[in-house]
Amino acid sequence: MIPAEMNRQQLNDFKSEVQKQYEDYKALGLSLNMARGKPGTEQLALSAPMLDCLKASDFTAAAADYFNYGALEGIKEAKELFAPMLGISPENVIVFGNSSLNIMYDTVARAMSFGVSADTEPWKDCGKLKWLCPVPGYDRHFAITELFGFEMINIPMDENGPDMDMIERLVKDDPSIKGMWCVPMYANPTGITYSDETVKRLAALEPAAKDFRIFWDNAYCIHHLTDTPDKLLNIYDEMKKNGKEDMVYMFASTSKVTFPGSGVAILGASKANLDHIKKSMTIQTIGHDKLNMLRHVKFFDGKFENIVEHMKKHRAVLEPRFKVVSDILTQELGGTGLGSWVDPNGGYFVSFDSLPGCAKRIVSLCKEAGVTLTGAGATYPYGKDPEDKNIRIAPTYPSLEELTKAMEIFVCAVKLACAEKLLADTESASSIA
Amino acid sequence: MIPAEMNRQQLNDFKSEVQKQYEDYKALGLSLNMARGKPGTEQLALSAPMLDCLKASDFTAAAADYFNYGALEGIKEAKELFAPMLGISPENVIVFGNSSLNIMYDTVARAMSFGVSADTEPWKDCGKLKWLCPVPGYDRHFAITELFGFEMINIPMDENGPDMDMIERLVKDDPSIKGMWCVPMYANPTGITYSDETVKRLAALEPAAKDFRIFWDNAYCIHHLTDTPDKLLNIYDEMKKNGKEDMVYMFASTSKVTFPGSGVAILGASKANLDHIKKSMTIQTIGHDKLNMLRHVKFFDGKFENIVEHMKKHRAVLEPRFKVVSDILTQELGGTGLGSWVDPNGGYFVSFDSLPGCAKRIVSLCKEAGVTLTGAGATYPYGKDPEDKNIRIAPTYPSLEELTKAMEIFVCAVKLACAEKLLADTESASSIA
């Protein structure tokens, strides 16, 4: 019998049972972390050999330019190596430092101060500002647009991506909507990949704001977990067909390919967008770390296919972790009606939806039992999940053993929170009756 | 006889002679560059061994945190190593990426959007904005404040630093003056170091703007060229005595210590300033390249005195270059009244003042003869040298041989431009008569 169909007595029994289980877990005094999409130590080890790719003996007078100032856009070899991650030409790429988040922040900040082109206003002078946020989504995206004062509008996601009817309707008439966050492949946290139709409709948007920009954060573009990876249509190509290629900024990084703190990040954009960006970028910096770019180029022997091969090693580490999550969820919650989730084909997360009104309680129960999850609500703008049901599970960082224990505690917390909720619902129903 | 005392005929003879010399140089078809403060190849080679400081074998599970996300403020060891560059405590330091210019730009950009503290307005909302610019100064500083729309006010420099009477008078009554650029040690380009009195008066400023900030770019703090280096008073200590330590942001980097493109840069500031900065910084990035910080820490064995030792090797490379500049200037222009300069005790530049109205012509003559100099006017806000006389000589990048040739051409161009100028003055004087 599934809990939603239990009577009061049965629910009480169910609750007592999971409560006891929960207290046993709590007594273990564990400290486990599933909060962030952090690679685990095994994954980091995969790129350790990159450290040997640049040695003192590689310094020669002929190579001195790599060691000196210059090359605002990054070194040519790195542009060539990484352009395929975004599916664009190397001349449409700028290679930055270690953080694509930093590029995104700077891209918003730049648009605030100087607009997105010579013939548009700085966003700071545009009055009310709004931003489209597919939900659930990435908390660090939302933090940027919140900081700069945008009113963020939730756009529901389904298995094809964000609700395109809603987006088309909203942007058509409202020039205060300046942009939209997208994680188009293996989305954070839902794991879904935008359908071809979604990409085509995004590429054909007719926003009232001439300075509307899609922030296409392709963070997981090569982060597959199966033999049948998702495929994402190339939005830049689609936009070019429509003469709209200025409407997108594309981002990617090697943070989850080589080292999270010491990777390189890239921006892909149209010539017009890059020209505008470079006008202030050349004042902001003389360029980013070219030796780290060179280290990456050497590690992958300048070939994108070697990056793809390297990602298979990551998959080998990650696949068992995602299987643990899937197995425990299926075994313990499958058919119970207490939650739903999707096993992703790639990326870093499993997005879990509990019964409405239970997410905060689940996260709090887990916390008490020593399991740190991403805060409930974090996957929504302003940290406010309107139904209080979404929880992002990040299985990459803990060891397999820790993860197993953490997931056991998680499903126990889900059952307990749901039992409490259903009981409370029964009570309020009977008091109304 | 010095040219200024020559009659028309003597000037014509002088001009013909240097004109002939100049044509001979031009015929050589050289291509030499003294435009930027770029370390030369010999200097880069000094830090090549740093590349061997981090190897694949240094990756261990215990060290994994260096390889992962995190540590927004930089690693502890790097904060400790670099804090003495600015003469402050490690807890007052944030270690950034490869560019102090980038920190300075971001610090201005942040103040524009979010103010300098919780209780001050964003600068963008403060109406008219002004900035104090000691001149001659650093073109990349001026470019930042120009980009953000500040009205830049020239503050004359002498051998003690900027004109403090003028600064005190200006900031006292004008709340639109929000900040000031300073290169307090071996200033770019004049090479002078601020006197103790200057530092004390800066540390005691009473600006009308509560959000006035001194941008203390200590780019050359350990870049000595003699056995009797200049000494700079610690402005942070002076400010603390006055309870004014929030009034300064301090910057330094290893761009001219290890590698210009792959060094690390630091910001030093009061706790209140750092706390405010971190509020938006934590949204901008997850942190900077910790492996490159670690590489630096290992290269210098965590000891500031080893950095100081390392700088002696730079000095050994640079001292002969500055001697060439000094010798040729003295030999060819000493006592001629055609120009003045100061031999600096450190830093990267020799600042040359020609007869007024001649700098552009000198730079252009050099260019025609294959010697690229920093553009005339670059050392002033908006690229406008009101007397058209200052030229920044950057002797570090060319080889000794190239530098010698470039300086010979430079002094020839100075003589030719001055002869032209003096002749034109004679003509206009006689036509007035």
Shared-domain flag, residues B258 and B320: no
- Helices B100-114, A271-284: inter-axial angle, 10-degree rounding: 100
- Closest residue in B to A65 (Cα) is B41
Answer whether A56 sits within 8 Å of B69, measured CB to CB.
no
Q: Is-contact A419 A11, C-beta < 8 A?
A: yes
> In B, which residues are within 8 Å of A291 by CB distance?
51, 259, 261-262
Contacts of A262 in chain B (CB under 8 A): 67, 289-292
User: By C-alpha distance, which of A318, A253, A313 is closest to A40?
Assistant: A318
Whether residue A148 and residue B113 make contact (CB cut-off 8 A), yes or no, is yes
Q: Show residues of chain B in contact with A58, CB under 8 Å.
A: 48, 51
Q: Is residue B375 part of a domain?
A: yes
pLDDT of residue B427: 84
B-chain residues near A102 (CB < 8 A): 284-285
A142: nearest CA in chain B? B283
Distance CA A381, CA A379 (A): 7
Q: What is the pLDDT of residues A288-338, one digit of tens each?
A: 999 999 999 999 999 999 999 999 999 999 999 999 999 999 999 999 999
Residue in B with minimal Cα distance to A75: B261
Contacts of A38 in chain B (CB under 8 A): 68-69
pLDDT at B433 over 60: no
Name the nearest CA neighbour of B340 among B173, B128, B115, B190. Answer: B190
- State phi, psi for A134 to the nearest 5 degrees: -55, 135
Amino acid at the residue B109: A
Residues 6 or more apart whose Cβ sits within 8 Å of residue A432:
none
Q: Would the CB atoms of B36 and A69 count as touching at under 8 Å?
A: yes
Q: Is the pLDDT of residue B353 over 80?
A: yes
Looking at per-residue confidence, does B430 or A78 come out higher?
Answer: A78
Q: What is the mean pLDDT of residues A136-154?
A: 98
Verify whether the Cβ–Cβ distance A286 to B260 is below 8 Å. Answer: yes
Pairwise CB contact (< 8 Å): B283 & A105: yes
All residues of chain B having their beta carbon less than 8 Å from the beta carbon of residue A283 are 105, 140, 143-144, 147
In this predicted structure, the answer to whether residue B339 has a pLDDT above a threshold of 60 is yes
Q: What is the pLDDT of residues B69-127, one digit of tens each?
A: 999 999 999 999 999 999 999 999 999 999 999 999 999 999 999 999 999 999 999 99
Length of chain A: 433
Q: Do A259 and B68 touch (CB under 8 A)?
A: yes
Q: Is residue B9 part of a domain?
A: yes
Q: Which residue is it, tokens 């050994």?
A: B316
pLDDT bucket at B432, cuts 50 / 70 / 90? low
**Is residue A431 predicted with pLDDT exceeding 90?**
no
Alpha carbon of B139: minimum distance to chain A alpha carbons (Å)? 10
Residues of B in contact with A255 (CB under 8 A): 69
Residue of chain A nearest B65, judged by CA positions: A41
The answer to whether residue B48 is domain-embedded is no
Residue in A closest to B280 by C-alpha: A147
What pLDDT band is residue A430 in, cutting at 50, 70 and 90?
confident
pLDDT of residue B379: 97
Would you say B261 and A291 are in contact if contact means Cβ atoms under 8 Å apart?
A: yes
**Model pTM above 0.90:** yes
Residues of A with Cβ-Cβ distance to B39 under 8 angstroms? 68
The verdict on B261 and B396 lying in the same domain is: no
Q: Distance of CA A392 to CAs A34, A163, A275, A383, Å?
A: 9, 20, 38, 13
| CB-closest option in A39, A48, A290 to B261 | A290
Q: Does B397 lie in the same domain as B411?
A: yes
Q: Which of A47, A58, A283 shows the shortest C-beta gap to B51?
A: A58
Distance from CA of A106 to the nearest CA of B (A): 8
Based on the domain organization, do B254 and B365 belong to the same domain? no
User: Among A269, A302, A335, where does a domain finish?
Assistant: A302
The mean pLDDT value of chain B amounts to 97
Nearest to A256 by CA among A221, A227, A232: A221
pLDDT digits (tens, 9 = 90+) for A99-113: 999 999 999 999 999
Under the banding of pLDDT at 50, 70 and 90, the label for residue A432 is low
Using CB atoms, pick whichever of A58, A143, A283 lies closest to residue B105: A283
Contact call for A67 and B261, based on CB within 8 A:
yes
Asked whether residue B279 falls in the same domain as residue B343, the answer is: no
By Cβ distance, the residue of A99, A148, A260 closest to B68 is A260
Share of chain A above pLDDT 90, in %: 97
pLDDT single digits (tens) B257-268:
999 999 999 999
Is the Cβ pair B260, A67 closer than 8 Å? yes
Residue A127 domain-assigned?
yes
Share of chain B above pLDDT 70, in %: 100
Using a CB-CB cut-off of 8 Å, the residues of chain B touching A287 are: 99, 261
The pLDDT of residue A341 is above 70: yes
| A344 occurs within a structural domain | yes
Rounded to 5 degrees, φ, ψ at A238 are -60, -40
Question: Nearest residue of B to residue A72 by CA position?
Answer: B261
Nearest by CB to B98, which of A66, A147, A289? A289
Do residues A112 and A172 both lie within one domain? yes
- Whether B255 sits inside 8 A of A69 (CB atoms) is yes
Determine the Cα–Cα distance for residues A66 and A290; give it in Å rounded to an integer.
6
Number of domains in chain B: 2
Q: Which of B54, B144, B286 sits opposite A99 (nearest CB)?
A: B286
pLDDT in tens, A365-416: 999 999 999 999 999 999 999 999 999 999 999 999 999 999 999 999 999 9
CATH classification at residue B185 = 3.40.640.10
State which of B288, B303, B318 marks the end of a domain.
Answer: B303
Geometric angle at alpha carbon B271, from B266 and B276, rounded to 5°: 85
Same domain flag for A371 and A265:
no
CATH number at residue A366: 3.90.1150.10
Q: Is residue A257 part of a domain?
A: yes
User: Which of A45, A55, A289 is facing B289, going by the closest CB pair?
Assistant: A289
Query: How many cross-chain Cβ pairs, A to B, lie less than 8 Å apart?
Result: 169
Distance from CA of B285 to the nearest CA of A (A): 5
Q: What is the 3-state secondary structure (H, E, C) of chain A?
A: CCHHHCCHHHHHHHHHHHHHHHHHHHHCCCCEEECCCCCCHHHHHHCHHHHHCCCHHHCCHHHHHHHCCCCCCCCHHHHHHHHHHHCCCHHHEEECCCCHHHHHHHHHHHHHHHCCCCCCCCHHHCCCCEEEEEECCCHHHHHHHHHCCCEEEEEEEECCEECHHHHHHHHHHCCCEEEEEECCCCCCCCCCCCCHHHHHHHHCCCCCCCCCEEEEECCCCCCECCCCCCCCCCHHHHHHHCCCHHHEEEEEECCCCCCCCCCCEEEECCHHHHHHHHHHHHHHCCCCCHHHHHHHHHHCCCCHHHHHHHHHHHHHHHHHHHHHHHHHHHHHHCCCCCEEECCCCECCCEEEEECCCCHHHHHHHHHHCCEEECCCCCCCHHHCCCCCCEEEECCCCCCHHHHHHHHHHHHHHHHHHHHHHHHHHHHHHHHHC
Rounded to the nearest angstrom, the minimum Cα separation between B155 and chain A is: 22
Same domain, B19 and B101: no
Report the gap between the CA of B410 and the closest CA in chain A (Å).
25
Question: Closest-CA residue in chain A for B106?
Answer: A284
Question: CA nearest A54 in B: which residue?
Answer: B51
pLDDT at res. A433:
57
Residue of A68, A109, A288 with shortest CB distance to B39: A68
Q: Looking at the structure, do residues B95 and B191 belong to the same domain, yes or no?
A: yes
Of B64, B260, B284, the CB nearest to A41: B64
Same structural domain, B7 and B128: no
pLDDT over 60 at A145, yes or no: yes
Pair (B184, B243) in one structural domain = yes
CA-based nearest distance A101→chain B, Å: 6
Structural domain that includes position B412: 3-43+308-432
Say yes or no: B238 and B356 in one domain. Answer: no
Chain-chain contact of A98 with B44 (C-beta, under 8 angstroms): no
Does the pLDDT of residue B165 top 70, yes or no? yes
Distance (Å) from the C-alpha of residue A241 to the closest C-alpha of chain B? 33
**Domain endpoint, select from A249, A269, A302:** A302
Q: Which residue of A57, A284, A295 to mutate against B (max B Cβ within 10 Å)?
A: A284
